[in-house]
């Protein structure tokens, strides 16, 4: 959506396909990071964006055993918004779609599912799509697979994937939040259990981390036992855990981390999760997808306006974005294996790890995780022009 917006804004005829009839899906990742907010600032849409209902997280904390610890402090970031915004992803996408629709070059086709790639003289030349009104062919100078971690585009293009082992899965659910509950919480690490809780004002969005493939065993033990696990981590949730009435109230996220060896073929490029599925550790998947989109627009808007995108142009996008992706994934894999995997396997409460002791002793060090989470490696800035004269009145 962001790439479609940026290209259309630069004057490139752009069609965005979405297979669903809306963007309304729960637990899809609702964090908008300072670097993404900065992109919206550069686009001049940040004030309108912040008028939409959202929560602002200025510090991230956690609890190890019964010890609270503050991990990240966003208040010193070199960005205009020094906080992480929490907003349902469908509201964010609706907002971007609405702003993009002001450009006559932007076309969003909902309920339109890409099912095959068109080829012409050794190049990908567009897609075949399924719509309620029948099949549709869309021919294009460039086709971009931004269709997420189960990308059909990358599969149809035969792009090779490197998969990295992941020791965890996550169970997502929501529980009512009360005004006297603790504030923002990053995560609980209690007695070999890990739970992340995001404050959504009226409810908590909870992510309960389990060992890979461990959901069957949890189900076998039964829902009352799972509710007890929640209450053991956060005793104030004991009664509210009863809001989980059936397993359907709990969604399993099968965590995967992978990356394409080559992100492109002549006429085709993959970005976002389609090029590199991210672990939920640090909640940076949306941020990376947005940064990919900004870099792709910066590099490709010129060639697209001239009507010809070469494999070298596409290689340049991969070269630019591969480094931040690779280093972020390495960090996520390190934390999954060395911290999260170890906590999950522990029989008794582990003591506070030394990096957290340092963060507790010297608050200024909290700026480092804030920068890694809030901005990440190699932040991108909007360089594409605004073909403002074409805006619909």
Ligand X SMILES: Cc1cc2nc3c(=O)[nH]c(=O)nc-3n(C[C@H](O)[C@H](O)[C@H](O)COP(=O)(O)OP(=O)(O)OC[C@H]3O[C@@H](n4cnc5c(N)ncnc54)[C@H](O)[C@@H]3O)c2cc1C
């189900």: which residue's tokens? 219
By beta-carbon proximity to ligand X, the closer residue of 103 and 173 is: 173
Total site size for ligand X, rule CB under 6 A: 28
Q: Read out DSSP for 76-144?
A: G-SSS--SEEE--HHHHHHHHHHHHTTSTTEEEETT-EEEEEEEETTEEEEEEEEETTEEEEEE-S-EE
- Compute the least distance from the CB of residue 19 to ligand X, in Å: 4
- Compute the least distance from the CB of residue 145 to ligand X, in Å: 9
């932040």: which residue's tokens? 379
How far apart, in Å, are the Cα atoms of 366 and each of 85, 103, 198, 330, 363?
A: 18, 41, 19, 21, 6
**Restricting to residues 28-87, which ones interact with ligand X according to CB under 6 A?**
28-31
- What tokens were used for 31? 């964090």
Stretch that binds ligand X, among 99-107, 146-154, 180-188, 371-379 (CB under 6 A): 146-154
Chain CA centroid to CA 31, Å: 7
Binding mask 279-318 for ligand X (x = CB under 6 A): -x--xxxxx-x-----------------------------
Question: Does 278 contact ligand X by CB under 6 A?
Answer: yes
By beta-carbon proximity to ligand X, the closer residue of 176 and 254 is: 254
DSSP H or E segment with residue 64:
strand 59-64
Binding mask 153-192 for ligand X (x = CB under 6 A): -------------------x--------------------
By beta-carbon proximity to ligand X, the closer residue of 270 and 301 is: 270
Binder among 13, 67, 113, 141 for ligand X (CB under 6 A): 113
**Restricting to residues 341-380, which ones interact with ligand X according to CB under 6 A?**
none
> Distance (Å, rounded) from C-alpha 293 to C-alpha 280?
19
By beta-carbon proximity to ligand X, the closer residue of 206 and 284 is: 284
Closest Cα partner for 5 from 267, 275, 297?
Answer: 297
- Neighbour-count burial for 215-233, b at 16+ CB within 10 Å, e otherwise: beebeeeebeebbebbbbb
- Compute the least distance from the CB of residue 51 to ligand X, in Å: 22
> Distance (Å, rounded) from C-alpha 278 to C-alpha 250?
21
Closest Cα partner for 270 from 375, 152, 110, 109?
Answer: 152
Question: Does 324 contact ligand X by CB under 6 A?
Answer: no
Torsion from C-alpha of 380, 385, 388, 389, nearest 10 degrees: -170
Binding mask 221-260 for ligand X (x = CB under 6 A): --------------------------------x-------
């697209």: which residue's tokens? 304
Stretch that binds ligand X, among 39-47, 48-56, 141-149, 179-187 (CB under 6 A): 141-149
- Compute the least distance from the CB of residue 388 to ligand X, in Å: 26
- Compute the least distance from the CB of residue 265 to ligand X, in Å: 17
> Distance (Å, rounded) from C-alpha 304 to C-alpha 319?
19
By beta-carbon proximity to ligand X, the closer residue of 21 and 217 is: 21
Closest Cα partner for 256 from 196, 147, 333, 328?
Answer: 333
Q: Name 44's Cβ contacts closer than 8 Å, sequence gap at least 6.
A: none
By beta-carbon proximity to ligand X, the closer residue of 287 and 298 is: 287
**Cβ(20)–Cβ(271) under 8 Å?**
no
- Compute the least distance from the CB of residue 383 to ligand X, in Å: 21
Question: Does 272 contact ligand X by CB under 6 A?
Answer: yes
Stretch that binds ligand X, among 44-52, 74-82, 140-148, 354-362 (CB under 6 A): 140-148
**Restricting to residues 8-37, which ones interact with ligand X according to CB under 6 A?**
17-20, 27-31
By beta-carbon proximity to ligand X, the closer residue of 3 and 234 is: 3
- Compute the least distance from the CB of residue 53 to ligand X, in Å: 17
- Compute the least distance from the CB of residue 285 to ligand X, in Å: 2
Residues found near ligand X in the complex (CB under 6 A): 17-20, 27-31, 113-114, 146-148, 152, 172, 253, 272-274, 278, 280, 283-287, 289
């Amino acid at each position: 959506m962001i790439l479609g917006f940026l290209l259309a804004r630069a004057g490139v005829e752009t069609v965005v396909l979405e297979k669903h009839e809306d963007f309304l899906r729960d637990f899809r990742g609702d964090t908008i990071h300072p670097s993404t907010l900065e992109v919206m600032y550069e686009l001049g849409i940040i004030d309108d964006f912040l008028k939409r209902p959202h929560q602002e997280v200025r510090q991230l904390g956690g609890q190890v055993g019964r010890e609270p610890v503050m991990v990240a402090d966003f208040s010193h970031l070199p960005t205009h918004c020094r906080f992480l915004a929490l907003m349902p992803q469908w509201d964010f996408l609706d907002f971007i779609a609405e702003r993009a629709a002001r450009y006559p070059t932007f076309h969003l086709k909902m309920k339109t599912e890409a099912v095959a790639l068109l080829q012409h003289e050794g190049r990908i030349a567009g897609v075949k799509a399924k719509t309620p009104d029948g099949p549709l062919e869309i021919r294009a100078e460039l086709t971009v697979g931004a269709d997420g971690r189960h990308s059909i585009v990358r599969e149809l293009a035969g792009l090779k994937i490197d998969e990295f082992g992941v020791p965890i899965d996550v169970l997502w659910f929501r529980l009512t939040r009360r005004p006297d509950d603790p504030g923002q919480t990053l995560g609980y690490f209690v007695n070999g259990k890990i739970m992340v809780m995001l404050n959504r004002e009226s409810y908590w969005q909870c992510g309960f981390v389990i060992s890979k493939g461990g959901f069957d065993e949890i189900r076998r033990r039964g829902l009352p036992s799972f509710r007890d696990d929640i209450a053991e981590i956060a005793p104030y949730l004991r009664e509210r855990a009863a809001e989980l009435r059936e397993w359907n109230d709990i969604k399993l996220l099968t965590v995967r981390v992978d990356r394409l060896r080559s992100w492109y073929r002549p006429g085709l490029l993959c970005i976002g999760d389609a090029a590199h599925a991210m672990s939920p550790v640090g909640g940076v998947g949306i941020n990376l997808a947005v940064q990919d989109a900004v870099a792709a627009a910066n590099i490709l808007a010129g060639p697209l306006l001239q009507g010809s995108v070469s494999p070298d142009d596409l290689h340049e996008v991969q070269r630019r974005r591969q480094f931040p992706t690779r280093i972020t994934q390495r960090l996520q894999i390190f934390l999954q294996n060395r911290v999260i995997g170890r906590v999950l396997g522990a029989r008794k409460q582990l003591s506070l790890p030394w990096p957290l002791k340092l963060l507790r002793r010297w608050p200024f060090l909290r700026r480092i995780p804030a920068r890694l989470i809030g901005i990440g490696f190699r932040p991108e800035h909007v360089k594409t022009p605004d073909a403002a004269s074409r805006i619909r009145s």
